Amino acid sequence: MEARWLSVGPVQENTWIARQDGSDKALLIDPGDEPEKLLQALADLGTTPEAILITHCHFDHVGAVKAMAEATKAPVYCPAGEVFMLEDINSFAFPGLTFENYTPEHTVKDGDKLHLAGFEIDVIGTPGHSPDHVTYSIPADKAIFSGDVLFQGSIGRTDLPGCDHATLMASIQKLLDTLPDETGVLPGHMEPTTLGRERRSNPFLNELARP
């Protein structure tokens, strides 16, 4: 898998473009802002999204969904329990920021399996940072697009409406219990990491059971 990220918007969210090496079909994950920048990156790579995948519907992850869906004609896959947020983005955005709402073509939930852009993708329910957050796992490449669940040395915040710390920690525990340590974590903010690195060194995981 070839994956690269562009940090966009006021809180530097990571929008990911992933494809099989050299493919003209890609996945676009969490287009948060700056659609012109994202479109230019796709053009530079010579690829087009076959699908737009959303991990969760906080404004910084979905602010450019409408623009990118209309420009690329790619269908949008949204966590079923957060469609209401995508359809009313500005009610959940920081004051002074304005984005365009969108109704997704598809919804996803824990346990779904997707076949898109040459990838087999497992949808893993990972709520806590948001009500119906999901993680997209690509087992063949030992990689997850984890949104705002787990970061390098940190975890997703749980002081927003619909967040819950205990639920988030249970979601992280599920990832650690079911995926190998070498799994690459391709997050919604900051640098990539691995599950093993975070298991060993992330201070926020001290409360979790460890082998």
Containing domain of residue 183, as a range?
A: 2-205
Query: What per-residue confidence (pLDDT) applies to 161?
Result: 85
Nearest one of 85, 211, 94, 204 to 149, comparing CA atoms: 204
| Cβ atoms within 10 Å, residue 211 | 6
Cα 176 from Cα 32, distance rounded (Å): 27
Cα 81 from Cα 128, distance rounded (Å): 13
Q: Is residue 211 part of a domain?
A: no
Q: Is residue 116 part of a domain?
A: yes
Cα 134 from Cα 127, distance rounded (Å): 7
Q: Is residue 33 part of a domain?
A: yes
Running DSSP on this structure, what letter comes out for residue 53? E
Q: Is residue 156 part of a domain?
A: yes
Domains contained in the chain, number? 1
What CATH number does the domain containing 183 carry? Answer: 3.60.15.10
Q: Is residue 210 part of a domain?
A: no
Which is it for strands 106-108 and 76-79: parallel, antiparallel or unpaired? Answer: parallel
Query: What per-residue confidence (pLDDT) applies to 183?
Result: 98
Please state the φ and ψ torsions of residue 110, each to the nearest 5 degrees: -55, 130
Query: What per-residue confidence (pLDDT) applies to 132?
Result: 97
Q: Is residue 174 part of a domain?
A: yes
Query: What per-residue confidence (pLDDT) applies to 151?
Result: 97
Grouped pLDDT means (10 residues each) for the chain, 211 residues: 96 97 96 98 97 97 98 98 96 90 98 98 98 98 98 94 94 97 98 96 84 53
